[in-house]
């Protein structure tokens, strides 16, 4: 048999993986076996797998081998936005995962399997979780400036479920939900599911326009205010103490509920007090482990004021019950043994490094970002159409989000949101430079 050319082997594997002939999860031959079978040098076999890994088709697990990656699963993209070419970089969805987290999971599962009463995880737990697990979260929340008791913490399958539970419990169809004019897209989806009337609060780079919010609350009954005071998605702001106090006072004087989303708050090690601490009687605080640990874990929590606790628990019971026992056991073990704190510290350093890369690659463009956040808001020039820019980038294998996903009102700015967390750090700079070159190439 003639020795195979390196490119031909890559091509053959890539085609077989893309067609499904080699299914996801398959363990591929060892480098040595591949070299022998194809009569290529060992270094060439290693290069074949490196190239397949760079194409996102396989993943190497130290000590275990090379595996075909799962490609069909949801990766933050809606199906209509599937790429026409191999992916170069996903800047549309923040999926921060550090090398070594797979091993961490393997280790934690082994420990769990070896623990005494593993059968307990198969028994039904109370909606919102066992008290001892809720107590772990209450202790964790103290670090974030939230002083609550375990009973007021409800465990959920992701922050999105926590938000759904809060809205289901505390709002009625037709009521007004005040939201920043640019905000997390998931809240739009929920407002529409619950038939709420979204009222956009005008925004500046430093935070919501609180005078405008005050006027809005005087003009119409606002039932609740959804806010992301620390590391706003997409604008990256961290509200200062004065803004938070004003927001809390405003909510009190107009008798509005506050829904505080702390999903990215871990990126700021010492923010001013959360709204939950300033107005605990009317604030539901939601956050989870998607961005600081792993989005696939689907573990989150809500801190709910006493007077809404019973209704919130019933609403969880009526829906998905909360976080599954096995996931809760994993999450709480990682909080207790310090894994979450270590990951959060690493993520802060990672986000800062990625922001440095972004600032260098996008220098001179109109960007809004926090130096330690995972998002960049990139305003386009009048001649650059947002959907066109996103489509041209997609043709090059680069995914971005467009402003319409974040706009909660009728005015959609001409802008892209770049999520920095997902691509490997060594490809991020090149991907961002491609964004810049692509925008530069759009004729006026
Ligand atoms: C501000 C904000 N809240 C909530 C979520 C959803 O988090 P989860 O994955 O825990 O449902 C996200 C996800 O991107 C987010 O950015």
Are 16 and 22 a contacting pair, CB within 8 Å?
yes
pLDDT score at 3: 60
184 lines ligand 1 (CB under 6 A): yes
288 lines ligand 1 (CB under 6 A): yes
pLDDT score at 67: 87
44 lines ligand 1 (CB under 6 A): no
pLDDT score at 59: 80
pLDDT score at 251: 98
Q: Residue 339: which residues within 8 A CB-CB, separation 6 or more?
A: 104, 293, 333
- Are 79-94+340-440 and 122-337 equal in CATH topology? no
Span 224-271, pLDDT tens digits: 999 999 999 999 999 999 999 999 999 999 999 999 999 999 999 999
**Residue 288 CA to ligand 1 centre (angstroms):** 8
The architecture in CATH of the region 122-337 reads 3-Layer(aba) Sandwich (3.40)
**Residue 286 CA to ligand 1 centre (angstroms):** 10
Assigned token pair, 288: 């989870």
Minimum-distance ligand 1 atom for the alpha carbon of 162 = 11
CATH level 3 topology of 6-68? Arc Repressor Mutant, subunit A (1.10.10)
User: By alpha-carbon position, which residue is closest to atom 7 of ligand 1?
Assistant: 159
**Residue 392 CA to ligand 1 centre (angstroms):** 27
Report whether CATH 3.30.56.10 matches the domain 79-94+340-440: no
pLDDT score at 19: 75
Q: Residues in the chain with pLDDT < 50?
A: 72-74
Q: How far is CA 228 from CA 40, 153, 158, 265, in A?
A: 55, 19, 16, 9
Minimum-distance ligand 1 atom for the alpha carbon of 299 = 10
Testing ligand 1's pocket by substitution, the residue of 259, 290, 375 carrying the most ligand atoms inside 8 A of its CB is: 290
Testing ligand 1's pocket by substitution, the residue of 92, 156, 184, 259 carrying the most ligand atoms inside 8 A of its CB is: 184
**Residue 172 CA to ligand 1 centre (angstroms):** 23
Span 164-181, pLDDT tens digits: 999 999 999 999 999 999
pLDDT score at 88: 80
**Residue 377 CA to ligand 1 centre (angstroms):** 17
So where are the chain's domains? 6-68, 79-94+340-440, 122-337
Strands 283-288 and 257-261: parallel
300 lines ligand 1 (CB under 6 A): yes
Minimum-distance ligand 1 atom for the alpha carbon of 264 = 1
**Residue 185 CA to ligand 1 centre (angstroms):** 9
Per residue in 407-442, is it b (16+ CB within 10 Å) or e — as a string?
Answer: bbeeebebbbbbbbbbbeeeebbebbebbeebbeee
Question: 108-115: long-range contacts at Cβ-Cβ below 8 A with a sequence spacing of 24 or more?
Answer: 108/330, 108/333, 108/334, 109/330, 111/333, 112/326, 112/329, 112/330, 112/333
**Residue 159 CA to ligand 1 centre (angstroms):** 6
């Amino acid at each position: 048999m003639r020795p195979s050319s390196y490119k031909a082997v890559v091509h053959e594997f890539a085609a077989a993986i893309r067609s499904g002939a080699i299914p996801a999860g398959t363990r591929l031959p060892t480098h040595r076996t591949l070299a022998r079978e194809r009569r290529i040098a060992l270094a060439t076999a290693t290069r074949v797998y490196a190239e397949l890994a760079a194409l996102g088709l396989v993943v190497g697990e130290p000590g275990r081998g090379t595996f075909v990656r799962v490609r069909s699963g949801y990766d933050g993209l809606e199906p209509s936005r599937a790429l026409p070419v191999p992916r170069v970089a996903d800047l549309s969805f923040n999926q921060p995962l550090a090398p070594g987290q797979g091993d961490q999971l393997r280790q934690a599962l082994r420990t769990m399997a070896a623990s005494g009463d593993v059968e307990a995880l198969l028994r039904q737990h109370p909606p919102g979780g066992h008290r001892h697990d809720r107590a772990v979260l209450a202790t964790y929340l103290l670090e974030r400036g939230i002083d609550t008791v375990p009973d007021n913490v409800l465990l959920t399958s992701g922050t999105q479920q926590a938000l759904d539970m809060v809205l289901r419990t505390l709002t009625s169809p037709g009521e007004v939900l005040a939201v920043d004019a640019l905000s997390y897209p998931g809240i739009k989806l929920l407002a529409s599911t619950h038939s709420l009337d979204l009222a956009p609060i005008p925004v500046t780079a430093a935070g919501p326009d609180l005078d405008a919010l005050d006027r809005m609350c005087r003009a119409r009954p606002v039932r609740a205010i959804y806010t992301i005071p620390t590391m706003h998605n997409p604008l990256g702001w961290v509200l200062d103490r004065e803004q938070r106090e004003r927001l809390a006072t405003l909510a009190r004087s107009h008798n509005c509920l506050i829904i505080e989303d702390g999903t990215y708050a871990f990126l700021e090690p010492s923010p001013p007090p959360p709204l939950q601490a300033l107005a605990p009687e009317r604030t539901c605080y939601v956050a989870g482990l998607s961005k600081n640990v792993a989005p696939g874990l689907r573990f989150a929590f809500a801190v709910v004021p006493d007077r809404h606790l019973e209704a919130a628990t019933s609403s969880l019971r009526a829906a998905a019950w909360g976080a599954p026992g096995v996931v809760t056991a994993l999450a709480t073990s990682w909080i207790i043994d310090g894994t979450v704190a270590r990951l959060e510290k690493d993520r802060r350093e990672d986000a800062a490094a990625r922001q440095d890369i972004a600032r260098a690659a996008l220098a001179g463009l109109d960007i809004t970002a926090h130096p330690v956040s995972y998002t960049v808001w990139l305003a386009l020039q009048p001649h650059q159409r947002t959907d066109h820019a996103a489509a041209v980038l997609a043709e090059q294998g680069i995914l971005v989000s467009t402003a319409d996903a974040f706009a909660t009102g009728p005015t959609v700015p001409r802008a892209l949101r770049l999520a920095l967390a997902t691509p490997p750090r060594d490809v991020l700079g090149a991907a961002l430079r491609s964004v810049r070159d692509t925008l530069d190439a759009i004729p006026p």
